[in-house]
Structure 1
């Protein structure tokens, strides 16, 4: 069996950096046409556009804040105008901060919840008319959803919320032939360098002896976006090296 996404039309939120960038490029290289969004202009967006052009396909980069309903409406309209329909929606956009719970301002709680949980709500709801039978919705969650981590109560709560959202939508949208799943990465090495002490600690905790790579996550997302996973629904797949 070979992972093929030829002719698939896929929306990926938050695709200019880190895991999201790896997902966008992985899907495009597997043959999919991809629309992705980003919040801030910069070299990351410029270089991604260049890489996608070199990859080939009908790809689009759109500036959009997934916590803003108007921006989400514009993003979905771009998908409709470009493709007519969507085969998969991948929710990667999100924010994080590190704040002791006793000192966590309500405004920061709202910011993280509105982005990490409100964004998937808005994008999923508005994208539904474009998704037909066989469609796939993939939420990029986090391994911390089930284990917790200090200073990130707000972030962890949103990632745990995605698991509940997935279970409910899998049952509600399943009769329409739409699958809904979560990919939950563990420690992943992105373009941001990992401090040596942190790297050493994770290497001891992870049986495979290394941090994950963005391609490790992208491969699982590609599987869930493909027809190979047509009977996988309502699941959380940990990509954590067995930590």
Structure 2
């Protein structure tokens, strides 16, 4: 079924690698025009640009550190100049750093919360007046928020906070028919083995009903669903993409 994404105006943060890259390419192939935010990796940006050229999508790459209000304002300025308004916002910036609670210092706590929650606040706040009536905001969270994880108190807390942000914000933006949802992936193979030892990957796959690890394209499909017309009455939802853990 057509999701009605052709010619939609899209902003994806953290859009040059991993899940963000897959999401950006999926929107391009659906005919959307995309502004892609990235922090620093110029090589990844160049590789993505080559793929977008091949896909034939209209795009603009914007280097911006959205852990700061100034960085978020840079993206908002790019949206205003390029599009005027925004139909889809995908908040995809996020970091991890497994650390036992007894060793978790405030600096690492703050780093993870800043990237995983504060960036979503900053970017969404910066573009709030640019969101067109009927726009969709999709926040990329994690299924860990619903399960917890040892050595992941800061990560789990940040992703749980993202759910609270989403469920509250959807009630404020709903009068303009703006929808706000969360996609919550399980462990995703953004690099071979997801950077984990083979035995760890085997254990995780063994916990998964579908018997395989999540791929970035699996997450991209869920993002496009929540951005598209067929989910027009879905708001404040958490869509798990974890293969049935």
- What TM-score bracket applies, with the shorter chain setting the length? over 0.9
1:205-239 Cα offsets, whole Å, 9 max, x none, are 11111111111110110011111111001100000
Aligned equivalent of 1:37: 37
Work out the CA distance in 1 between the residues paired with 2:184 and 2:233. 19
1:11 corresponds to 2:6: no
Asked whether the equivalents of residues 145 and 160 of structure 1 are also in contact (C-alpha less than 8 Å), the reply is yes
TM-score (norm 1): 0.97
CA distance in 1 between counterparts of 2:108 and 2:15 reads 23
Distance in 2 (alpha carbons) for counterparts of 1:49 and 1:162: 29
**Could you tell me how far 1:188 is from its partner in structure 2?**
1.6
Which has the larger displacement, 189-198 or 208-217?
189-198
TM-superposed CA distance for 1:200, in Å, is 1.4
Structure 1, unpaired ranges of 5+: none
Alignment-derived partner of residue 27 in structure 2? 27
The reply to whether residue 167 of structure 1 matches residue 135 of structure 2 is: no
The whole-number CA distance in structure 2 between the counterparts of 1:211 and 1:113 is: 26
Structure-1 residue corresponding to 2:84? 84
CA contact 2:66–2:119 (8 Å) conserved in 1: yes
CA distance in 1, matches of 2:243, 2:120: 26
Indicate which of 229, 235, 238 corresponds to 1:236. 238
Aligned-residue Cα RMSD (Å) equals 1.1
How many positions carry a matched residue from both structures? 243
SS at the partner of 2:37? strand
How far the C-alpha of 1:42 sits from its partner, in A, is 3.3
Q: Give the conservation status (yes or no) of the 8 Å contact 2:3–2:225.
A: yes
**SS of the counterpart of 1:61?**
strand
> What's the counterpart of residue 96 of structure 2?
96
Could you tell me whether the CA contact under 8 Å between 1:64 and 1:72 is conserved in 2?
A: yes
- In structure 2, distance between residues paired with 1:193 and 1:49: 25
Partner of residue 213 from structure 1, selected from 212, 215, 224 = 215
Separation of aligned partners in 2, 1:162 and 1:36: 21
CA distance in 2, matches of 1:191, 1:4: 31
TM-score by length of 2: 0.96
Unaligned runs of 5+ in 2: none
Alignment partner of 1:52 is 2:52: yes
The CA deviation at 1:192 is 4.0
- What is the aligned partner in structure 2 of residue 196 from structure 1? 198
